[in-house]
Structure 1
Amino acid sequence: MRLTVLGGCGAWPAAGQACSGYVVEEEGFRVLVDPGYATLPRLLERMGAADVDAVLVTHGHPDHCADLNPLLRARALADTPAAALPVHAPPGALDAVLALDKPRMLASSFTLRELSPGTPQEIGPFRLDVFDLPHHVPNAGLRLTGPGGRVVAYTGDTGPSAELVSLAKDADLLVAEATYPERVPDEDAPYLSSALDAGRTAASAGVGRLLLTHLWPDTPAEPALAAAAASYGGELSVAAAGVTLDLR
């Protein structure tokens, strides 16, 4: 099971970077998670648009889903159009991005499926468990389990929730939103997390590795790493384009 980071900036892509975007691979099956701003060019450096087998979107903010539009265009407008791409998202999360083109232009390029907390789904070789986590808009925490039992858990963007430990329990890798190093401003405290929060979640859940993501653009990684390490003693890093983690 392998995870490749396409981008990890929160809100907007810093120069030369991209927003949230990850590819999880198992047995040749490729799941694109959160195709945020500027992730498509990085994806296309590694594979063709037609090589994506499924898309998972945690929520409808554009830094997590805007590049779904050019991905679908690349598949639909190719000389040989790709098969319809399964796209999984919370209800209504993709209404805006799917409305960027006339419906008939992309209609055959995807099939839209709702993410339902509490109802496991099979996506290729993966079992997907979905968790309802607090954010400014509906947000789905994702737990992907491969056939060998390896687990990648991903928070999307989330505020404090008891569900986070269940999402991340004994995961081999937790990809955790950490917009701020230690303190989330009061107005966003119910809806976003810090690296300090992510470290505590990872420690409580017994996570094997912690990957901090969604840091505020152009901020250094060191304060986030130090904050998470205050409570989490495992392998720790920050999401950056091109980082690949193999889970064995």
Structure 2
Amino acid sequence: MIKNTLTIAGVDPSGGAGTLADVKTMSALGTFACAVIAALTAQNTQNVTGIQPIPPDFIRLQIDTLFHDVRIDGVKIGMLGQTPVIHAVADSLEKYQPPFVVLDPVMVAKSGDLLLEEKAVASLIEALIPQAHMITPNLPEAGVILKSSTPESIKEMYHFAEKLHKRMASSDERWVLLKGGHLPSQDTVDLLFNGDKMIEIQHSKIQTKNTHGTGCSLSSAICALQAQLQNIPLATQQAVDFIYQSIQHADELSVGHGHGPIHHFHALWSQ
């Protein structure tokens, strides 16, 4: 049976990030992707020129209408932007209790533009993180969540992963994936932690400017693979491998003049 997955996030018209990237990822990895639009952006590979929030009541209506008809096997949450939107999504998660929720705490675009209002961070921490089965912050996002400076070493990342896990519901079924791509090294180490075991996931960095949407796509890949595998460590490792290959093939695309997208369909399209 084909699994159904859902992304709740903003729209990036260039297709590199947000719901469009999520749907591409979920589809490439074998699930049927649904999408609830939480925000609109005017965005390309170079910058974000505008953000248009979606009314919270309409977000609730989108979610209610979908869940009343479609079995959802996994949910990915991305850019929400504002406090009322965060609470609308949090209320819906509490209502429908989907089997797996991965939260990518999107705060800043690849271009450096702010995608989450500063006053909304507290709502994200209080209303959404406790409901997530997995959170996938990068190092700057982890620093914001913990109100601390950004980790600068693997040792500091270990401490951050432990502190982040304490923000989640108390359960060994809750996971933190702390992404280490911002550390200055040739290899990247991501930490996967469930309050008991810490797993290091290593991969080398690829020299390309075309990495737009990697965070969105990774969380979506984990959502799609976990729906099928029911094994967080295995789903996460396979998701990291998928993103690595998507970055390796990113330069086969020619999209925009800034940070171009990764190649979600590298395994399906022939040159």
Q: TM-score, normalised by structure 2?
A: 0.37
Give the strand-richer structure, 1 or 2.
1
Give the helix-richer structure, 1 or 2.
2
Q: TM-score, normalised by structure 1?
A: 0.39
